Copies of this chain bind each other. A is one copy, B any other.
């Protein structure tokens, strides 16, 4: 097994050593480096690519923060840690990590300031329209469907998606800022270096790792701990098939880099680390939110199956995991013209009978759905799925529909190593494995099944910092 742990007794000599060794320099690893340095530790950061950034740098850059950040307040939104907590528990469940969510919600404003201290900046402006990602330089948006049922009844909605200001994609900017902070820190960075196996002492403590750099083996000792922040496993088809076969599909595109191959997860599993929720994944609905919300999302029986104004990653998950991706968007000309987008209409028809026939849906099925929707929408209600009144409008001819079955659903994995709130990797009994930590998508974090945009960068940086501090504390005897 190429990830089998190596016994420390077989390591003749170390090539390098530090208090804390961090694997991967995406947002979680960079923050772990910074957190460990702040705690006074000597740190080595390993990155298998030629530069840090990872999947974080490819992302939209949105960071989920709340509880009353300066940007939220400047934009006129009230928020509390308790509302944020209640929302995340509901939106990221079942089995969302409540201990992590509580810490994250309580510490969110502080984390905002920490990110600002590293050099991240936001405009104090709110973007109100539903979109995947803010493409203007506005700083704040709703990024998790907080206003949609049932979440609007569980917690007071507040926008918590914070977009670092930039003219390009915010993910690139965020990682530029964090990696510049790493450069300013005393940490030593080794690029082109892939961690391969953990080194374990006789008492079970992780004391280092074996890496490879351009074919050469490099043995790196970690006096305090190794922090695994090597991404998820969306690029590993065998692991996907074993845990989440629904994701192995031509209609899914993998959000991530080739290095999201699950190696960091497997290195820890090989010594008895527990994994959680390996079947879970974020799944973006291919329909643009501004068109999706006023339209009807229907399945191959012509039935609606969710309130269309819910977070687009939630309707995407439900479409993939519960409807086998056999879904369509049904709208009318008025919606189409009022909501410009790249979306192309697949079928257009004057009557619902004609439309459902063209779509290959069972006779009468779509008509029954639209008639019921219209009847309720005229009364300003949606008793089936509780879509917000803002989006309720009876559909009128001419009608149109979009075939989403071959639309590209963007997916990445949410499952990973079971960790404590300090990032400690837990074994199959729930006990911490001494000297081993994980953060980012290598770990099973706040999202168990559900997801919200911005939580990966948010918890990656937050719990990356925490893991860095914890590993440093071990090394320094804190």
Contacts and interface: CB of A to CB of B under 8 A. Distances in A.
Interface stretch (A35-43, A48-56, A209-217, A236-244): A236-244
Interface in A243-273: 243, 245-246, 266, 269-272
A1 B272 contact: yes
Nearest to A280: B279
Nearest to A444: B242
Contacts of A243: 276-279
A245 B94 contact: yes
A307 to B, nearest CB: 11
Contacts of A270: 272, 427-428
Given A245-B94, A363-B383, A372-B365, A428 B272 contact: no
What's the dominant secondary structure at chain A's contact region? Answer: loop
| This chain: copies in complex | 2
B431 A1 contact: yes
A376 interface: yes
Contact of A429 (B3, B277, B369, B383): B3
A50 to B, nearest CB: 26
Contacts of A302: 384
A269 B266 contact: no
Contacts of A476: none
A6 interface: no
A301 interface: yes
Given A1-B272, A94-B246, 8 more contacts: A3-B272, A3-B429, A95-B241, A95-B245, A269-B428, A278-B279, A364-B375, A368-B369
Closest 7 CB pairs between A and B? A362-B383, A95-B245, A279-B279, A94-B245, A270-B272, A322-B322, A242-B276
12 contacts: A1-B204, A1-B427, A1-B428, A95-B242, A266-B428, A269-B269, A277-B279, A278-B279, A362-B372, A364-B376, A365-B372, A368-B369
